[in-house]
Structures are given as C-alpha cells and as structure tokens.
Amino acid sequence: MRLQIAVLASVLLVLTGCSRHKVETQASQPVPVQLRKPTLVDRPEIVDVSGSVTSPDAPSDVPFLVSGRVTRVAVHEGDFVHKGQLLAALEATDYQLAVNGADAQVAAAKVALDRAEDEYKRMKMLFDAKSLAPNDFRKFEATWQSAKEQLNQAVASEKTARKHVSDATLVAPVTGYISRRGVEPGNMAVAGNPAFQIVTLDPAEVLVGVPETDIHLLRLGQPAEVEIPAMSGAAFSGTVREINVAADSTTRTYSTRIRVPNPQHQLRIGMVAEVHIKGDHTTKALTLPGSAIAHDQQGATLVFVYYPEQKRVFSKRVEVGRVIWQDVEIRSGLGADEEVVIGGLQGLRDGTQVEPSATLPPQIPVSGAHHKVDGE
C-alpha cells in the first residue's frame, strides 16, 4: 500500500510539473499585434466651446393694454402661433358702453357745430355789410370755433373708446411659440402686465463664451457646427453672427452668438449645445485609428506603445480630440515617432511581450488633399 501511494504521488508530481511548464510556456509566448506610427495631418483650426440655445430676439412680452376680467384664453404654453392670432379676450361690456356714449357725444357735437356754423355765416354777412359791430361778430366766430373744438374732442374720445374695445382682445404681435402664459379665464388682467411671452425659434441662436486665447481666431460669418447632446449628438450647421468686444468680467470670455437655421423647430430654448467654430487657418495634428484607443479601469484614455529593445508594450495616457478623416486626433501624450498597437489589443497589459505581425508606416497625406474633420 505504501509503495502504491508513493508511485501515485510521483506520477501526480510529474503531471503537475508538466502542466505548469505548459502554462508557463504558453504565457511566455509573444502576443501578435499590429503596429503603426501616428500620422501627421493638417486640420482646420477649430474653437470648441459650450453654450445654450436661445432666441435671436428677446422674448416678446405681450400685455393687455386695458384692464378687465379674462373671459377667454385661446392658447397654451408650447403652442405655435402666427402673427395676429387670437390669444385671449377680456369682458368688453363697459368699454362698448363707453363707445355708445362717445358716439352720442359726437352726434351732439355735430348738431352744435352745424348750428354755430349757420349762425356764424349769417353774422358774417351782416358784418361784411357793416350792419354788425366787430365785437359782436367775434363772439359768434368764437362760438363757431369752440363748437369745432368740441366736435374734435368728441371724435377723439370716440376713437379712444373704440380702441379700448379692440384692446380687450389680445392677438399675437409676432409669429412664434408661447413660452409663458400668465392669465387664466376668470382672472383680472392688469393693463401693462405681461399676459404671454412669445419666442421665435427659426432661426435659433446658440450663445457661447469664447476664451480670450481663442477670440483672435473668430470672425463674423465663420461656419460652425452645433451638436446637441440631448438629441443624441444631432448636428446643425450655423454661422457666427455676433462677437462681443468686451469680455465678461467674471468668466473672462467673449459672448458670441451662432445663428442656426431651425425650420423644423428641433432646437428649443435652453438646450445645452457643443459648438465647433472652424477657423480660417490649418494646424498640425497627430492621428491614429480608433482601434488603437483603449481605456483603463478609471476610464482614462490610453494607447499601447511598443518598445523594440524589450519587445514589450506599455500603456500611455493620451488626450484625444476630434475625428479627422477616419482617424482620431491625439492632442497630447504621444510622440510622432512612437509605434502604437492598432490591432491585437485584447489582453494586453503593461509589460506584455508582443510579436509585431505587421508594422504599418504612417499614412502620409497626399499634398493638397482634403482631410475631413468630423462634422464637415
């Protein structure tokens, strides 16, 4: 029995040693990878800033010009309205009664004027025939002039009364969206207090703050790409419409407005926007295929750099930028002569021994060729 146990232990020891040797052999085998040096390309200067969607014009506050009880509200917040469309109405009975009274005053003033004019004409004939003293004639002339003034005042009062009736009905002064409703049926509306607020959305504008280090790259009319994170990165094209000449005292940025056509009204006031303003000049940029980009457990962006003396790879943290053509811009953290793993990243760790299966040269752009920047 002791002999059998000893033999079995020897066999297990041999098998375990063989298995460990096999694993160690497999672990020491180099990992096949593809390598490539970064490509140096020309790309347009781009100013990346953040902002929010706003209206090109200040919101229109729409108040009643007269006071009264609200009898009807025809629109709700978010409704699209056309210029001249009914928004709300007030109880207009008192204003209509005032119109009726003003009409009666106009009629009475016309009668009084007709009488005064007839009297004036008869007295003027006597005055011309020297049958009426000048002082007496001036009295009739003054009465006639007074009657004309009274008629003019009555007509003005009648027009004011009719305007009050018209003002009891509130219509949209511009085309746009109702962004705020401040009245409800049965409420008392006070003259001058905003009852509605209307905003226009086409075109829309994006208000951004440009750092003083980049403001020299901007000019009016420059193209810009606007991305909306809330819309899954949907992109819109716009142009620089306004650049402030004074920096904000707190942020030290220059207020800049980007006008964006918005015929479908997809952009809404207050949306967060990422804006990429394209400059007039180009700058150099290093690029790599997207397949070269990896992330560590903290989410930091990195690439694996090959060291030929050791035949091993080690990670380097890099800062990535925009997509240029089909590659990704490497803004910092990598040199132009370093060889980077672009294929076979699975399972790589710092110090992994690798075997380059194909070392690809950097892609040299053809002179004069256009390199597309993401969003063009």
- pLDDT by 10s per residue, the chain, length 376: 454 444 444 444 444 444 444 444 445 688 999 999 998 888 777 888 999 998 887 788 999 999 999 999 999 998 999 999 999 999 999 999 999 999 999 999 999 999 999 998 999 898 888 888 889 889 999 999 999 999 999 999 999 999 999 999 999 998 889 989 999 999 999 999 999 999 888 889 999 999 988 888 888 999 999 999 988 878 899 999 999 999 888 888 999 999 999 988 889 888 999 999 987 777 788 889 989 899 888 889 999 999 999 999 999 999 988 777 778 888 889 888 899 999 988 889 999 999 998 666 665 554 333 334 443 4
Closest CA to 235 of 244, 223, 246, 227: 227
Tokens representing residue 312 in the block: 């091993």
Residues in the chain: 376
Residue 88 confidence (pLDDT): 96
Q: How far apart are CA 61 and CA 63, in angstroms?
A: 6
| Residue found by looking up tokens 């003003």 in the block | 102
Residue 373 confidence (pLDDT): 40
Closest CA to 195 of 168, 216, 213, 220: 168
Residue 307 confidence (pLDDT): 94
The Cα diameter of the chain in Å comes to: 169
**Full-prediction pTM beyond 0.75?**
no
3-state secondary structure of 274: strand
Residue 358 confidence (pLDDT): 66
Listed by start position, the domains of the chain span 48-57+201-282, 60-91+168-199, 92-167
CATH class, domain 92-167, is mainly alpha
Q: How far apart are CA 276 and CA 219, in angstroms?
A: 14
Residue 15 confidence (pLDDT): 44
The domain defined by 60-91+168-199 carries CATH number 2.40.50.100? yes
| Residue found by looking up tokens 């004011």 in the block | 160
Pairing of strands 60-63, 294-295: unpaired
User: E strands, 122-171, where?
Assistant: 169-171
Is residue 281 within 8 A of residue 44, CB to CB? The reply is: yes
Residue 59 confidence (pLDDT): 80
Tokens representing residue 230 in the block: 């809330």
Residue 154 confidence (pLDDT): 92
Tokens representing residue 217 in the block: 């790259």
CATH hierarchy code of domain 48-57+201-282: 2.40.30.170
Closest CA to 284 of 40, 30, 2: 40
